[in-house]
């Protein structure tokens, strides 16, 4: 298998570029000092990195899925502003011993995710380098097309809370991988992977190649969404962040969650997985009461005032004990809920399925 060290930078670049599809907004694509994008108004920009070890394991993730997930995780941040994704830049670094074929597959996955989730968006530039482990930093750009951005801070008491996308499945997939395709120390191996793929295909697909509802972002904006965010670290943690940014209490309903997302693609999803499982990259949004929810969004709760007595008589507590509850809080079924969390330096969220 040819390695990147054997082929060299120019050769690797040619192989990658051959597998990338162009961006409709790019008047100058890869090959100059910068790409040039047409823009009619305000743009949005976000960046997200995936690093072998903490973020993915080559024993589990194949190149195509990695490329797909790299695109999807960034595209969903663009969608969460109510914008239409226009372009990605991709910085890849890897050991000299990395097979060229792996980078080719990543490129194919990036293009496929753009084609399916965000038609017209493509890779407009990048960078190649050497690193001890495979490292991929993606920046995504989007066009607001004249709309105002939908921020995390716009939720108002009385709004409906809604969600679109898979919920909990990706976290269940990760938990299954740790249970059945890792040793006692948590080191990934590929034993049991083929069996998992056939017995738990939905959970693994959600974990490996999330199908984020990208077009739902601008649809939510058009439908009057007051706040929106990408759910990457778990619904509870991200809903608590939205609550704090908006200085409201986000009141999630277990009943609505069960009704909407308790069974997905034939899989029973427990409430705890819906609340704590990360990496689904769906969209959490709030809408004025009575608004018609766009396709894909289902109601999961409502917005209340921060720091006041909730339905079940429990005063909303803040996510972080040093916070003032008046700064925003989360409740589930009327009880204050303290979400688990993801910290890249200290914690790996796992869920029993």
- Cα–Cα distance measured from residue 6 to residue 331, given in angstroms and rounded to the nearest whole number: 56
Between residues 45 and 338, which has the closer beta carbon with respect to its own copies?
45
CB-CB neighbours of 33 under 10 Å? 6
Is 6 assigned to a binding site?
A: no
Burial class, 194, CB count within 10 angstroms (exposed 0-12 / middle 13-18 / buried 19+): exposed
According to the annotation, is 244 in a ligand binding site?
no
Known binding residue 280? Answer is: no
In the bound complex, what is the minimum distance in angstroms from residue 180's beta carbon to its own copies? Answer: 25
Of 199, 7, 232, 19, the residue nearest 105 (C-alpha): 19
Residues 309 and 301: beta-carbon distance below 8 Å:
no
Consult the annotation and say whether 350 binds a ligand. no
Q: Is 230 annotated as a binding residue?
A: yes
Task: Select 54 or 288, whichever has its Cβ closest to its own copies.
Answer: 54
Tell me how far, at minimum, the Cβ of 206 lies from its own copies, in Å: 20
Contacts of 14 by beta carbon, 8 Å cutoff, 6+ apart = none
Alpha-carbon Rg for the chain in angstroms: 21
Query: 279 labelled as ligand-binding?
Result: yes
The rounded distance, in Å, linking the Cα atoms of 85 and 88 is: 8
Q: Closest separation between CB of residue 100 and its own copies, Å?
A: 11
Q: Which is nearer to its own copies, 48 or 280 (CB)?
A: 48
Least separation in angstroms between residue 334's CB and its own copies is: 28
Which C-beta is closer to its own copies: that of 266 or that of 345? 345
Residue 42 or 116: the one with the smaller Cβ distance to its own copies is 42
Nearer CB in complex with its own copies: 88/172 = 88
DSSP codes, 249-316: EEEE-HHHHHHHHSEETTEE--HHHHHH-----EEEEEE-TTPPPPTT-EEEEEEEETTSB-TTSPBP
| CB 168 within 8 Å of CB 273 | yes
Least separation in angstroms between residue 255's CB and its own copies is: 28
Closest CA to 280 of 344, 340, 241, 236: 236
Among residues 75 and 256, whose Cβ is nearest to its own copies?
Answer: 75
Q: Closest distance between its own copies and the C-beta of residue 310, in Å?
A: 25
For the stretch 120-147, what's the b/e string if a residue is b when 16 or more beta carbons lie within 10 angstroms of its beta carbon?
A: bbbbbbbebeeeeebbbbbbbbbbbeeb
Give the residue with the Cβ less far from its own copies, 75 or 175. Answer: 75
The answer to whether the annotation marks 68 as part of a ligand binding site is: no
Least distance to its own copies, CB of residue 72, Å? 14
- CA 18 – CA 101 distance, rounded (Å): 13
Nearest in space to 334 (alpha carbons), one of 255, 259, 231, 226: 255
CB 77 to its own copies: min, Å: 4
Interacting residues toward its own copies by CB under 8 A: 4-5, 8-10, 12, 27-28, 31-39, 41-49, 51, 53-55, 77-78, 80-81, 83, 87, 89-91, 93, 96, 124-133, 135, 137, 139-142, 144, 149, 151-153, 228-230, 245, 343-346
33 assigned to a ligand binding site: yes
Is 55 labeled as ligand-binding? yes
Report the C-alpha gap between 49 and 66 in whole angstroms: 11
Taking residue 96's Cβ as centre, other Cβ atoms within 10 Å add up to: 10
> Binding site for Mg(2+), residues?
33, 46-48, 77, 127, 230, 233
> Binding site membership: which residues?
33, 46-48, 55, 77, 126-127, 152, 230, 232-233, 279, 342
Residues annotated in the binding site for ATP, as ranges? Answer: 126-127, 152, 232
Q: Would you list which residues are annotated within the binding site for substrate?
A: 55, 279, 342
């Amino acid at each position: 298998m040819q390695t990147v060290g054997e082929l060299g930078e120019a050769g690797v670049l040619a192989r990658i570029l051959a597998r990338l599809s162009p961006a409709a907004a790019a008047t100058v694509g890869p090959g100059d000092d910068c790409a040039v994008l047409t823009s009619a108004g305000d743009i949005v920009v976000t960046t997200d990195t995936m690093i072998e070890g903490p973020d993915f394991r080559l024993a589990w993730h194949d190149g195509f899925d990695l490329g797909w997930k790299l695109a999807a995780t960034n595209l969903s941040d663009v969608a969460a502003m109510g914008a239409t994704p226009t372009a990605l830049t991709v910085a890849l670094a890897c050991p000299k011993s990395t097979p060229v074929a792996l980078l080719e597959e990543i490129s194919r996955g990036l293009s496929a995710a753009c084609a399916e989730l965000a038609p017209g968006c493509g890779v407009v530039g990048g960078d190649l380098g050497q690193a001890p482990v495979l490292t991929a930093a993606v920046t995504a750009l989007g066009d607001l097309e004249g709309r105002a951005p939908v921020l995390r801070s716009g939720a108002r008491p009385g709004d409906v809370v809604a969600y679109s996308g898979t919920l909990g499945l990706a976290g269940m997939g990760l938990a299954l991988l740790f249970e059945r395709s890792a040793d006692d120390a948590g080191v990934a191996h590929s034993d049991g992977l083929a069996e998992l793929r056939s017995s738990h295909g939905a959970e693994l697909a959600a974990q490996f190649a999330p199908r984020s509802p990208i077009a739902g972002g601008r649809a939510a904006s058009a439908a009057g969404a007051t706040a929106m965010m990408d759910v990457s670290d778990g619904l509870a943690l991200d809903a608590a962040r939205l609550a704090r940014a908006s200085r409201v209490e986000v009141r999630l309903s277990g009943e609505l969650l069960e009704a909407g997302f308790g069974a997905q693609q034939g899989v029973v999803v427990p409430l705890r997985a819906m609340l704590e499982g990360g990496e689904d990259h769906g969209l959490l949004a709030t809408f004025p009461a009575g608004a018609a929810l766009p396709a894909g969004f289902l109601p999961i709760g409502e917005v209340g005032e921060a720091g006041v007595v909730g339905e079940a008589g429990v005063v909303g507590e803040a996510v972080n004990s040093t916070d003032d509850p008046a700064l925003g809080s989360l409740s589930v079924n009327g009880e204050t809920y303290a979400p688990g969390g993801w910290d890249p330096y200290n914690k790996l969220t796992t869920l029993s399925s």
